[in-house]
Structure formats: C-alpha cells, structure tokens
Amino acid sequence: MKDMKNFIFNLYNQLPNGYPRSVIKNVISFFFSRQSKVETISVDGVKFNMYANPLINNNEIASDIHGYNRNYRLRKDDIIVDAGAYNGLFTVYAALKVGQNGHVYAFEPDPYSAHILSRNIHLNHLSNVTVIKKGLFSKKSHVKFDVQGVGSRLQIYNRNIPTINYIEVDSLDNVLADLKIKKINFIKMDIECAEIEALKGCKRTIKYNHNIHLAIASYHIVNGKRTSYALERLFRSFGLRSETKNPSHLTTYADKNS
C-alpha cells in the first residue's frame, strides 16, 4: 500500500498544472481518505476527530479557525452557516461548540469534498449538521465549476478554464427560506472569489438578524484587487460595521454592533 501511494504521488507531482491535475488531485484525496487513519484535532479547547488528508495538513487548516473566531466566539445554541465547508474542520468544530440545540448548515458543492465532509461528520457522531451540496451565489442558477478540492471554485471570473462541470447555485436567502430558517448568528465563508456574489444573496438574512456576525475570507484576488476592499464597501452598503484583519489568512469581519 505504501509503495502504491508513493507511486501515485510521484506521478501526480509530475503532472503540469491544469484541469486534469485538479481532477486527479480530487480522486487521490478521495481514494486515500477512505484508507486514512483518524487524527485528533484540538481547537479552542474543543477536541474532535478527522480523517487524515494525504494532500492537505488538517492542523494547518485548523489554525484558520482562530482567525474566524477573532471578532466573535461561537456560543451554545448558535445557528451557523459554513460556506465552503471542504472536509468539515470548521463544521465539526462549530457543531461541537454550539451544542445539540445549535445547528450548522454546511455548504460544499464539490462532490469529492462533500463526501469527505459527510464522513467526518459521521465520525464525530454529529446530528446537528445539515450538508447542502450547492454553491452560494446571488441568485438561483447553474454555474461552471472548477473541481480542485480545497481550491474548488465557481468559474465566474475566468470562464476560459476547461471544465465539464456545472453545479447548482442559489442565494443563502433562498436556501434558508426553503428550510424555514430565520435565525442565523454567524456566517463563515471561504469560497474562492465568489464571496462578493454570495453576499449579495444574503441581504434578507443580514437585514432580519440583528445579532449576526460574519467572517469572510478576503485574501482572494479579483480583477487584480484583493477582495477585502470590495467586501468592506459591500458591508458598508448593508449598514454593517466591518474591518479586515488576520494577515496569515486575511479575513473581513462584519456585524451590526457599534
């Protein structure tokens, strides 16, 4: 098994960057995650288990949780949106943090990642998580999707990348209305450049939740500019206070507090 694993990784490392490499990376991650050992992760006093990922260091991803917590610490009974849940590190942490009367709505449109996400949820025996296999956007549609595992993204800015994948997208306002969910306390979002469009689809959710807090990854580059600038302008237009911090994983925070 070890020799086969080394052979596959050596072959993968010789592939040129591009769509085929991205797809193969997902297949490798998916296949070996099924053979993986279980790791124990500890964040903010919360311990949980995750299947080891052969291409991504779980502890490195877990370190990003501290950044998302920087302006708001999750509380018991909170209702959470995790957009860009990937393999579920933040989802599992948040579900344990908010307890059985809280809930996490985890959005992950990448089919490989969504499968691993579900396995990690079951590994931790969680019943307060709903996985939604859609992308978040400003409206209901189908959008070209580049499968890259941790870097999977909607192709809304660079439409020339070859792909055969189209996924269903919808606004958070629509999804929560369909689920009859009105209360949201915290939105974490890291969806590879689609954050601005997705937040345009959150206006109703933000308007009617007076104790809502947001932590949005803003290190991405769109049209040559970091997304943090556009996010701060957008939040101001919503009447929210916002600021960008956490240089190691740049994040824009917003809330309604003065």
At 165-203, the pLDDT tens digits run: 777 889 999 999 999 999 999 999 998 778 889 999 999
| Token representation of residue 213 | 């807090």
| Token representation of residue 220 | 């991405």
Please state the three-class secondary structure of 139-158 as a single string.
CCEEEEEECCHHHCEECCCC
Higher pLDDT, 170 or 145: 170
User: What's the CA gap between 120 and 77, in Å, rounded?
Assistant: 21
Indicate whether 258 pLDDT > 60: no
Higher pLDDT, 13 or 115: 115
Angle value at C-alpha 50, between 55 and 54, nearest 5 degrees = 15
The pLDDT tens digits of the residues spanning 208-251 come to 999 999 999 998 777 788 889 999 999 999 999 999 999 999 99
Residue matched to tokens 């010789």: 14
Q: For a pLDDT cut of 70, what percent of the chain falls above it? A: 77
Task: Give bridge partners of residue 251 from the DSSP assignment.
Answer: 217, 245
| Token representation of residue 99 | 């307890």
| Token representation of residue 199 | 């937040």
Indicate whether 151 pLDDT > 60: no
Residue at 5: amino acid letter: K
For residue 149, the model assigns a pLDDT of 47
Q: What is the pTM of this model?
A: 0.85
Angle value at C-alpha 147, between 122 and 64, nearest 5 degrees = 60
The pLDDT tens digits of the residues spanning 57-116 come to 889 889 999 999 999 999 999 999 999 998 899 999 999 999 999 999 999 988 888 888
